[in-house]
């Protein structure tokens, strides 16, 4: 088998596992029919060793295998493992304990909003995904934000405020809303108060600041400095006659 053929086979095995056995291990949440966004699947697989440079074209190669050879099905921008091949949802351990704290990562701007208004799922998400393991939450959030803001969710407070927390698996819990009182994160920087755009009262100009430039009339000549030239010449002639 060629190197390319081996890579496609390895990718198919990974896709079968990620889409049909343990999507929660990759922080993926299939909808009721098992579909996940193709871009989200691609981002999740790129975080795994051996798939860092994975391109969308490789997944489409598996999807577009001739006949019934492909294990995948697509619907628009969503993709799933064929239901007959999937083992979803993952089986929950008996008597799964409820954690006291769950975690998620947000963009800093999203945390600034959530700290005041709470959280709801994004339009493309069936539910808010929460993780007992902080590092798993960071890994999931880092797909859309290189430096996510990590948020802790108090299960007790969330439930006291009406949130319903449901385990998808032991790795991932779901809810449809969280109020800000249940969320703990770093302080949100205060927005700078915009200075009032009012004109300051007009001040008297500094002496000489807006003064008109003095008009020069030539060399100063005592008390006759402003006299016309012909008057000056007349005075000079009179002086000569007196002498």
pLDDT > 70? residue 202:
no
Neighbours of 177 (CB within 10 A): 16
- DSSP label of 178: B
Answer yes or no: is 217 within a domain: no
Question: How confident is the model over 102-124, as pLDDT tens digits?
Answer: 999 999 999 999 999 999 998 87
Calpha distance 138→115 (Å, rounded): 18
Domain that holds residue 121: 101-184
Mark which of 58, 85, 112 sits at the end of a domain.
Answer: 85
62 and 7 co-located in one domain: yes
- Identify the residue with better confidence: 69 or 41: 41
Nearest to 23 by CA among 7, 11, 35: 35
10 and 80 co-located in one domain: yes
Answer yes or no: is 130 within a domain: yes
127 and 167 co-located in one domain: yes
Question: How confident is the model over 134-162, as pLDDT tens digits?
Answer: 999 999 999 999 999 999 999 999 999 99
132 and 167 co-located in one domain: yes
Sign of torsion, CA 120 126 130 133?
Answer: negative
75 and 144 co-located in one domain: no
pLDDT > 50? residue 216:
no
Question: How confident is the model over 7-60, as pLDDT tens digits?
Answer: 899 999 999 999 999 999 999 999 999 999 999 999 999 999 999 999 999 999
Answer yes or no: is 208 within a domain: no
Number of C-alpha atoms within 13 angstroms, CB side, residue 74? Answer: 13
* Mean pLDDT rounded to a whole number for the chain: 85
List, as own/partner pairs, every contact residues 160-165 make where C-beta atoms lie below 8 angstroms and the sequence separation is at least 24, other chains included.
Answer: 165/98, 165/102, 165/130
């Amino acid at each position: 088998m060629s190197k390319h053929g081996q890579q496609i086979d390895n990718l198919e095995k990974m896709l079968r596992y990620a889409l049909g056995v343990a999507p929660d291990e990759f922080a993926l949440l299939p909808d009721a029919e098992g579909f996940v966004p193709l871009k989200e699947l691609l981002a999740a697989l790129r975080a795994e060793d051996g798939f860092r440079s994975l391109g969308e074209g490789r997944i489409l190669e598996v999807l577009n295998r001739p006949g019934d050879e492909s294990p995948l099905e697509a619907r628009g921008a969503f993709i799933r493992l064929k239901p007959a091949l999937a083992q979803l949802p993952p089986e929950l351990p008996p008597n799964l304990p409820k954690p006291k704290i769950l975690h998620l990562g947000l963009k800093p701007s999203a945390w600034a909003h959530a700290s005041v208004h709470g959280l709801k799922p994004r339009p493309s998400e069936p539910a808010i995904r929460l993780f007992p393991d902080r590092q798993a939450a960071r890994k999931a959030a880092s797909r859309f934000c290189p430096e996510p803001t990590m948020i802790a969710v108090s299960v007790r407070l969330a439930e006291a405020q009406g949130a319903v927390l449901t385990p998808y698996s032991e790795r991932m819990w779901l809810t449809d809303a969280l109020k800000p009182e249940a969320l703990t994160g770093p302080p949100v920087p205060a927005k700078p108060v915009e200075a009032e755009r009012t004109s300051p009262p007009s001040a008297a100009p500094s002496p000489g600041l807006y003064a008109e430039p003095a008009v020069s009339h030539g060399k100063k000549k005592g008390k006759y400095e402003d006299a016309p030239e012909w008057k000056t010449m007349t005075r000079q002639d009179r002086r000569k006659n007196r002498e």
